[in-house]
Amino acid sequence: MPAVRREAFGRMPPEEGGGEVERFVLESDSVRVEILSFGCIIATLETKDRAGQFSDVVLGFDTLEGYTRKHPFFGAVVGRVANRIANGSFSLDGKKYQLFLNNGPNSLHGGAKGFDKVLWSPEVLPNGVRFFRLSPDGEEGYPGDLKVWVTYTLSDKELAINYQAQTSKTTPISLTNHSYFNLAGQGSRDVYDHEISIEADSYLPVDDTKIPTGEVAAVQGTGFDLRQPVELGKHLQKFHLDGFDHNFCLREGQGRRLVARVFHPPTGRTMEVHTTQPGVQFYTGNNLDGSLKGKGAATYPKHSAFCLETQNWPDAVNKPHFPSVLLHPGEEYNHTTWLVFSTA
């Protein structure tokens, strides 16, 4: 059974209420993960290479101050609705809701102060930690009192992230973790030598503000066909792609299924993503520009990490033919994503 340690990590600034932020350390023989009560952030995730050496494979900061300042959601749980909502607006039961616009003309990852920028209440479990918060009716423009639980558990080589929620009014909800991975170790220059595959027959084309056009396009014969492993750098060159920031439509099914696999040949590190969610946003750190000082004074240039954000499809609240993103009173939102680490 992995041990769980809890320790102080810092205090919120007085203008943010000044609460204490704790760090929870989950450890097994092959994985070590540190999670913060601020934003449910995965701050460190260490896994072994084929020689048995541990390296931290997620981007982030050494101190709380890094996370309380503006950054691209490193390691955080984002919500109420992950990804983009067109024009930051939607209608429910004849009423229009307007959200904060924080991504050009759109609302992204919950708005001005999403779930990534708040303190959660922690509860230590035998092999993990559960965080809770109540998102009040009207927070960031969303309807309903929303109770949310995010649970991290570590079992040998597998980190499970479970999301549960209940609401007092019908509301859109789509939760994900926004970790940035580099299997060569955080601070490595790029992810071009990573081999990736995604089990998806279709993807969502987007407009110039990254909102899905509504088309569900086949990957066959395009640069989005990742059903067989591709070496990322060569693949981007071959198809003249600046990077990925797209939702891949996963094969339908209610239960756990393998949806993506990433292999780093030089170290042998492998990461599999399993989920119950209908989509995964594959993002290659296109907006990283080296301006942030990360852990160990590392800088994070463009394409120095990738994200595989399991979630509902972007802008689903405005696209009736997408999987429903609505949670109704009396129902429970319940999704799990599993990250499985090994060496080859």
User: Phi first, then psi: what are they for 30, rounded to 5°?
Assistant: -120, -10
Active-site residue identified among 139, 140, 272, 309: 309
> Was 256 annotated as part of a binding site?
no
69 is in an annotated binding site: no
Distances 203 to 113, 249, 275, 283, 334 between C-alpha atoms, Å: 29, 5, 17, 13, 24
Instruction: Spell out the SS3 assignment of the chain.
Output: CCEEEEEEEEECCHHHCCCEEEEEEEECCCEEEEEECECCCEEEEEEECCCCCEEECECCCCCHHHHHCCCCCCCCEECCECCEEHHHEEEECCEEEECCCCECCEEECCCCCCHHHCECEEEEECCEEEEEEEECCCHHHCCCCEEEEEEEEEECCEEEEEEEEEECCCEECECEECCCECCCCCCCCCCCCCEEEECEEEECCECCCCCECCCCEECCCCCCCCCCCEEHHHHHHHCCCCCCEEEEEECCCCCCEEEEEEEECCCCEEEEEEECCCEEEEECCCCCCCCCECHHHCECCCCCCEEEEEECCCCHHHCCCCCCCEECCCCCEEEEEEEEEEEC
Catalytic residue status for 140: no
178 classed as catalytic: yes
Tell me if 109 is assigned to a ligand binding site. no
193 labeled binding residue = no
Q: What are phi and psi of 87, to 5 degrees?
A: 60, 10
Q: Which of 178, 194, 274, 335 is catalytic?
A: 178
Annotated ligand binding at 67? The verdict is: no
CA–CA gap between residue 87 and residue 107 (Å, rounded): 7
Q: Flag whether 245 is marked binding.
A: yes
Residues at the annotated binding site for beta-D-galactose? Answer: 83-84, 178-180, 245
Residues labelled as active-site residues: 178, 309
- Pick out the residues of the known binding site: 83-84, 178-180, 245
